[in-house]
Amino acid sequence: KDKKKQKVEAKASDGKQPLYPRPLTSFNELRSVYNVSTRLVANLAEHGYRLPTEVQMGSLPLLLSPKSAVTDTLDNADHVNFLAVAPTGSGKTLSFLIPTINRILAQRKQSQEKGNKQPLAAIVLAPTRELAHQIASEGQKLAAGTGVKIVMFKKGMRIAAESSDIEVAQESDGESDDEEEDEDESDAASDVNNTAPLTLTKADILVTTPMLLLNFLNREKTKKLLPSVRTLILDEGDVLLDELFREQTQGILASCTSESLQIMCFSATMGSNIEALLMQELEKRQQDESSPSPL
């Protein structure tokens, strides 16, 4: 199904060839084949998504399958790391939001925990606040009624790291984000100083620019927040792994210490040698895993 202008590539973290599952032909298969939440699938229909786009057809089966089903390796990682390169406007956002929300719901079902007891499960990194905002509102529509909370990170926001934090938390409503802070201050060189009052927010999926998150982590002086993160998405990964952002992105990657971290990278171009850069990051993680932990 690969057309010349659209290329979906999947890499297992060990570099072996993936066994491509059958492309998704309809959103109904999310339910019938991959057991995705009924509510999530209903939300797709409600928002007018009738048929998956090509990148969704290719990505979703890989991202919704356990690793053992899409590689010929026998290791106990439950998901593959992933790189998709597909043009702007091809529907990459849903390609990562659906599996991310689904993974959180599946985990929740497994652990029988209440929604508000789970620590932060996923981070979506985007190079600009404007893009982060779009992703968050798309995610909120998609997750409506599932109990999965998607939050656009803002200056002055604190994210609760543990369930015990939530009891003192002043919940802010993730559904209706205030727009005023989000003007065109884009990204990398965002201001560090910030005197806004801090509100503690609970999030399952945090959407943020690398700089906003790093500023928060530096301010908090705690590494509690990121070890629970099991899904890290690099949207516009070519930009996030390019010179301007690379160090910031690497800083966040290094703090996501979960052994079951799944990395999904989406890009409109093969620019800045994204494939090699991503493989480098994955190899670094593997080496770190095999060496003793500094803690």
Q: Which stretches of the chain bind Mg ion, using CB under 5 A?
A: 92
Rounded CA separation 125/266 (Å): 10
Between 91 and 227, whose beta carbon lies closer to ligand ADP? 91
Instruction: Report in angstroms the alpha-carbon separations of 39 from 42, 70, 106, 195.
Output: 5, 26, 13, 40
Between 85 and 212, whose beta carbon lies closer to ligand ADP? 85
CB 61 within 8 A of CB 24: yes
Least separation, in Å, of the C-beta of 22 and ligand ADP? 18
Rounded CA separation 138/93 (Å): 8
CB 61 within 8 A of CB 235: no
Least separation, in Å, of the C-beta of 232 and Mg ion? 16
Residues with Cβ within 8 Å of residue 266, at least 6 apart in sequence: 83, 84, 85, 86, 92, 95, 96, 233, 234, 235, 236, 237
Between 92 and 133, whose beta carbon lies closer to Mg ion? 92
Question: Does 12 sit near ligand ADP (CB under 6 A)?
Answer: no
Between 12 and 86, whose beta carbon lies closer to ligand ADP? 86
Instruction: Report in angstroms the alpha-carbon separations of 237 from 49, 123, 247, 258, 294.
Output: 25, 13, 13, 20, 28
Least separation, in Å, of the C-beta of 3 and ligand ADP? 15
Question: Does 267 sit near ligand ADP (CB under 6 A)?
Answer: no
CB 60 within 8 A of CB 52: yes
Residue 20 interface partner, choices Mg ion, ligand ADP, none, CB cut-off 5-8 Å depending on type? none
Question: Does 40 sit near ligand ADP (CB under 6 A)?
Answer: no
Of residues 63-122, those binding ligand ADP (CB under 6 A):
86, 88-94
Residue 39, class by beta-carbon neighbours within 10 Å (0-12 exposed, 13-18 middle, 19+ buried)? Answer: middle
Between 55 and 159, whose beta carbon lies closer to ligand ADP? 55
Residue (of 5, 87, 20) closest to 60 by Cα position? 20
Which range of residues in 2-10, 50-58, 153-161, 177-185 is near ligand ADP by CB under 6 A? 50-58
Between 3 and 221, whose beta carbon lies closer to ligand ADP? 3
3-state secondary structure of 9: strand
Rounded CA separation 97/87 (Å): 17
**How many residues bind ligand ADP, per CB under 6 A?**
13
Least separation, in Å, of the C-beta of 131 and ligand ADP? 9
Residue 90 interface partner, choices Mg ion, ligand ADP, none, CB cut-off 5-8 Å depending on type? ligand ADP
Residue 197 interface partner, choices Mg ion, ligand ADP, none, CB cut-off 5-8 Å depending on type? none
Residue (of 166, 96, 86) closest to 126 by Cα position? 96
By CB under 6 A, name the one of 29, 37, 43, 52 that touches ligand ADP.
52
3-state secondary structure of 118: coil
Least separation, in Å, of the C-beta of 143 and ligand ADP? 15
Place of tokens 């048929």: 51
Question: Does 53 sit near ligand ADP (CB under 6 A)?
Answer: yes
Question: Does 49 sit near ligand ADP (CB under 6 A)?
Answer: yes
Residue 89 interface partner, choices Mg ion, ligand ADP, none, CB cut-off 5-8 Å depending on type? ligand ADP
**Which positions lie near ligand ADP, rule CB under 6 A?**
49, 51-53, 56, 86, 88-94
